Amino acid sequence: MPSTSIVQQDDMPHGTDGRPAYSLSLRASDSLKNTSNALWDILSDLWHPQSNPHGFVTLGLADNALMQEQLLLRVNSDFDLPGRHLLLNDTITGSVQLKTAIAHFLTRYLSPFKALKPSQVIVTNGVSSATEHCSWAFCDPGEGILVGRPYYRGFNRDICLRPAAKLVLVSFDEVDPISVSAVSKYEEAIISSRDQGCTIRALMLCNPHNPLGRCHSRSFLVELMKVCQKHGIHLISDEIYALSVWRHGLDRATPMEDFTSVLSINPDGLIDPKLVHVLWGVSKDFGANGVRLGVIISQENGDLLETIRGVGQFSSISGFADYLTTTILEDEEFVDRYIKENREKLAAAYNYVVTFLNDHGIPYTRGSNAGFFVWCDLLTAYRRVQPNSPPDDSDSAKQNRSRELAEKLAQHRVHLGFGDDFGSEQPGWFRITFSQHRAQLDEGLKRIVKALHS
């Protein structure tokens, strides 16, 4: 007897809902229409001075290539993989040895109020997976997670795509998004969203900030904790750049805060510790995006950790990544030396790029002291050097010129972070990643200038 779920129409099998039988689910079809895979195309055609001189120069990925030689030397000098790491073993959410190494390492560097325990750590195949787990665990479909603008563009995918949570954006207008004054904007967004029928379940903070490259102050974090407690929402602090802070003091009149982990603040009287969670990984601070290893830390919310363990096989790390990361983190002498040198190299690379920007009259935000980025206003420079630039200063005109500039950058095969993808409140801003080898930086900066004048 033929299946009743398939009917024949014009020799094409269809399901009972009228869609072709070979079609994707509605959610997959929606993802196909609304999710761009352009980045993967760029990564398959990367510039190389000899083998692919016409490829894309990427200054848009959050990669740190500055310490590759040092890390490879350490890895290749002592890599003796035990046979057990070829089996399933206990590495699905991180082996006990790895979790112990992570807890000890982050206790040293994040200075938590209470020392971390291995049992408070879940390991995933990257912080993207860790973010998605948190979104899935905290939100039912249609509920919201707050993020301040501009924000890490990957949150659109990690928070929304499969968990079906909503990304609720916080605008700051003329308020510095890193300042204590910005906290009131988060609370306004919580109330406004609730009035519009969307329950906010969590607030996602990127500290140090991506793309602004600045650290939130202890005072900011304390006030944000109070808001989260008042409204009963989770505080997720993405601290993936925690150890990549490379200068202190003042940048002209802009203060540069030292890094403060939310774990270092005594939650008593501020927030229920069950609401506080931290993400970290080796991708940025150790320049190892390809290792794919992220961490979820929750010191008091055992239910969160246990439910993520239940789905941990969807984000399990390899035995290779487990062993490699363990051996590195246990080598405190190497780690301390690596972090110190990495900070020095990041500072030098930043100074090199902003000197170039100053020489070419390209504005950028002041106060960056962490991460890999310069947040710059290429649209202003573009309009200045264009001989027939229209005088229209309307938002729509600026948006059109900004997209025009983005297309010219693509035509010159230089890849940057486009401000629209980061929820920039102003058109024409781009994120430049400066943590690249000098030859790649030079080629990319040269192509940017050519695009501006084209």
CATH (one of 3.30.1340.10, 3.40.630.30, 3.40.640.10, 3.40.50.2000) for 80-331: 3.40.640.10
Model confidence band, residue 7 (pLDDT cutoffs 50, 70, 90): very low
d(CA 22, CA 9): 14
* pLDDT 10s digits, 370-398: 999 999 999 999 999 987 777 778 889 99
Report CA 398 to chain centroid distance, whole Å.
Answer: 27
Q: Which amino acid belongs to residue 138?
A: F
Residue 375 β-bridge partners: 431
13 phi/psi in degrees, rounded to 5:
-65, 135
Dig out the tokens for 29 from the structure: 């079809």
How large is the angle between the packed helices 319-330 and 96-110, nearest 10 degrees? Answer: 40
Helix (H, G, I), strand (E, B) or coil at 56: strand
Model confidence band, residue 10 (pLDDT cutoffs 50, 70, 90): low
d(CA 78, CA 98): 17
Pairing of strands 276-281, 234-238: parallel
Of 107-116, 348-357, 382-391, 437-446, give the lowest mean pLDDT range: 382-391
Question: Regarding predicted confidence, which is higher, 35 or 129?
Answer: 129
20 phi/psi in degrees, rounded to 5:
-55, 145
d(CA 139, CA 155): 14
Question: Regarding predicted confidence, which is higher, 6 or 402?
Answer: 402
38-67+336-453 folds as Aspartate Aminotransferase, domain 1 (3.90.1150)
Domain span(s) for CATH 3.40.640.10 in the chain: 80-331
C-beta of residue 145 within 8 angstroms of C-beta of residue 159: yes
d(CA 33, CA 238): 29
C-beta of residue 168 within 8 angstroms of C-beta of residue 144: yes
Domain span(s) for CATH 3.90.1150.10 in the chain: 38-67+336-453
